[in-house]
Amino acid sequence: MNAEIQELLISFSHESDPAKRREIDARIWSQYGVEMAVLVIDMSRFSTMTQRYGIVHFLSTVIRMRLTARPVIEKFQGKVVKFEADNCFAIFPDVASAIAASVALVQTVNTGNQAVAEDSGISVSCGIDYGRFLLVEGKEFYGSAVNIASKLGEDAARSGEILVTAQAMALVDEKARPRYETRSVEISGITINACSISID
């Protein structure tokens, strides 16, 4: 997080005047606020693979995931915000692009697994949401859409599954929507209405 936004956040926390706090809040959103689709990718089977093959083996699969994910994301007008452990965080101009990239990624991963040893195969799960959030220098982002996409991708989606919030799916033109099934996801006391994308 850069020094400018840190100073604004410190000022906000020390300020007791509600009007001035609203002013700081508005300034932060004016400088760093964006409205986009968020995609969070998580690698499955961390504990199982590490226990069975060791951490070096698992890290080698993390590198494969990163090298596979970036070009697919960029092909669909997305941008990788960061890789963190076995996760990938990316943003897209719209939900349809995020979904298309996720489908292509799962298919690319499945195809790539056929060319490597069975114990080197990788599996990903994806979570997608859309909304307004803070994007700082293109390297960090904060907001509800980021949190919900993370919960879907990391905690709720099964191996090879793509979960999109219902409110995000509603933004996709009805004729362009992929086939999906609806399901309700409960995580940390939060209920999320999600759409599970069918991978052909």
Asked if the structure places residue 14 within a domain, the reply is no
Both structure tokens of 1: 């997080």
Asked if the structure places residue 12 within a domain, the reply is no
Asked if the structure places residue 116 within a domain, the reply is yes
The per-residue pLDDT for 121 is 77
Residue 114 pLDDT > 90, yes or no?
no
Asked if the structure places residue 2 within a domain, the reply is no
Both structure tokens of 58: 């698992």
Measured CA distances, 18 to 29, 31, 86, 105, 197 (Å): 16, 20, 41, 46, 44
Asked if the structure places residue 18 within a domain, the reply is no
State mean pLDDT over 5-28: 94
Residue 60 pLDDT > 80, yes or no?
yes
Tokens 């069918």 found at: 198
Give Cβ neighbours of residue 53 (< 8 Å, ≥ 6 apart): 119
Q: How confident is the model at residue 32 (pLDDT cuts 50, 70, 90)?
A: very high
Residue 54 pLDDT > 90, yes or no?
no
Q: Which of 71, 103, 69 has its CA nearest to residue 83?
A: 69
The per-residue pLDDT for 34 is 97
The per-residue pLDDT for 200 is 66
Residue-averaged pLDDT of the chain? 92
Measured CA distances, 27 to 21, 31, 148 (Å): 10, 6, 25
Question: Which pTM does this prediction carry?
Answer: 0.92
- Distance, in Å, from the CA atom of 65 to the CA atom of 133, rounded to the nearest integer, reads 26
Give Cβ neighbours of residue 2 (< 8 Å, ≥ 6 apart): 136, 137
Both structure tokens of 5: 């936004």
Asked if the structure places residue 11 within a domain, the reply is no
Asked if the structure places residue 55 within a domain, the reply is yes
State mean pLDDT over 38-45: 90
- Distance, in Å, from the CA atom of 118 to the CA atom of 78, rounded to the nearest integer, reads 30
Q: What range does the domain containing 129 cover?
A: 33-197
Query: Structurally, how many domains does the chain consist of?
Result: 1
Q: What are 134-193's pLDDT values in tens digits?
A: 999 999 999 999 999 999 999 999 999 999 999 999 999 999 899 999 999 998 888 999
Asked if the structure places residue 16 within a domain, the reply is no
- Distance, in Å, from the CA atom of 84 to the CA atom of 96, rounded to the nearest integer, reads 24
Residue 47 pLDDT > 70, yes or no?
no
Tokens 């076995």 found at: 86
Q: Are 28 and 7 spatial neighbours (Cβ–Cβ below 8 Å)?
A: no
Q: Are 129 and 148 spatial neighbours (Cβ–Cβ below 8 Å)?
A: yes
Provide the CATH number for the domain around residue 186. Answer: 3.30.70.1230
